[in-house]
Amino acid sequence: MVRLKSRYILFEILFPPTEISEDELVTKKDILLSYHKVSPPDISSKSILQEIRRSLQLNLGDYGYGKVNSLLQLKYFSNNTSTGILRCHREDTDLLLTALFTISKINEITNLIINPIKVSGTIKKIEQYSIRRNAKFLSLIKADSSSVLTNDFTNVNEDDNDEL
Partner 1 sequence: MLVDLNVKWPQESYEKPAVDADIERLRATLVTLSTLGYTHVVLNFTVNHSDKFPNNIKELNPMKIDERFEDIMRGTGLKIYSRITLIIDDPSKGQSLSKISQAFDIVAALPISERGLTLATTNLDVDLLTFDYGQRLPTFLKHKSICSCVNRGVKIEIVYGYAVRDIHARRQFVSNVRSVVRSSRSRGIVISSGSEGPLECRNILGVISLIKTLGLPSDKCTKAMGEFASLVLLNGRLRNKSHKQTIVVGGGKIDVVNDIEGIDNAKNIKIVKRSMDDDFSSKPHTKKQKN
Our CB check for partner 1 shows the closer of 2 and 18 to be: 18
Examine residue 25 and tell whether it contacts partner 1 (CB under 8 A).
Answer: yes
In the window 118-157, what residues touch partner 1 (CB under 8 A)?
Answer: 118-119, 148, 150, 152-154
Q: Work out the number of other CB atoms within 10 angstroms of the CB of residue 72.
A: 19
Examine residue 58 and tell whether it contacts partner 1 (CB under 8 A).
Answer: yes
* Cα gap 60→102, rounded to integer Å: 11
Phi/psi for 102 (5° steps) reads: -90, -5
As a whole number of Å, the end-to-end CA separation of the chain is: 34
* Cα gap 90→146, rounded to integer Å: 44
Shortest distance, CB of residue 45 to partner 1, whole angstroms?
Answer: 20
Our CB check for partner 1 shows the closer of 2 and 26 to be: 26
Examine residue 115 and tell whether it contacts partner 1 (CB under 8 A).
Answer: yes
Please identify which residue in 13, 52, 86, 95 interacts with partner 1, judged by CB under 8 A: 95
